[in-house]
Amino acid sequence: MSVFELPRPLQDYFAFAELERRNDTRRFSITLPYRDGERLEHIQWWWRVGDKEQELIGDAGVADRRAKEIARFGRHIERWLENNRQSLTGDEPIPVLRRNGSRPAGAHSAAQTDGADDATTQSSADWQPPQVAAG
């Protein structure tokens, strides 16, 4: 199951802003709003470009940097959703956060690949430390 079940690419849901300058630095943010039940939430990504860096890379470099930051933010969201067993769904302008009940596919297949049986995949609440022989 994909963590994104959306009709448009993820970045189409992003909001972009250039924040107030701080000293010699331009500051930017990328925001993804989402609904969690009845609540409206958001996740943000901040990045910055110093004046000296902008002199070196120019406007085209800033645009390239923006594209890289958008890609990094997308990967961050994907990992966040996978780690929390969640996905973004919906046909509305603001995606809906859905909690998935099963383990991530990678965790389950890794256990099977290692030849692990049900005893080794028990919850951590059942785990007991090994007994140490007195010596």
| Two structure tokens written together for 115 | 């030849």
Domain membership of residue 18 (yes or no) is yes
Domain range for 22 is: 4-103
Domain membership of residue 35 (yes or no) is yes
For the chain, what is the domain count? 1
Note the pLDDT of residue 1. Answer: 63
Domain membership of residue 37 (yes or no) is yes
C-beta atoms surrounding 13 within 10 Å: 19
Domain membership of residue 49 (yes or no) is yes
- In this prediction, residues 88-102 reach a mean pLDDT of 91
Domain membership of residue 132 (yes or no) is no
Tens of pLDDT along 5-55? Answer: 999 999 999 999 999 999 999 999 999 999 999 999 999 999 999 999 999
Domain membership of residue 120 (yes or no) is no
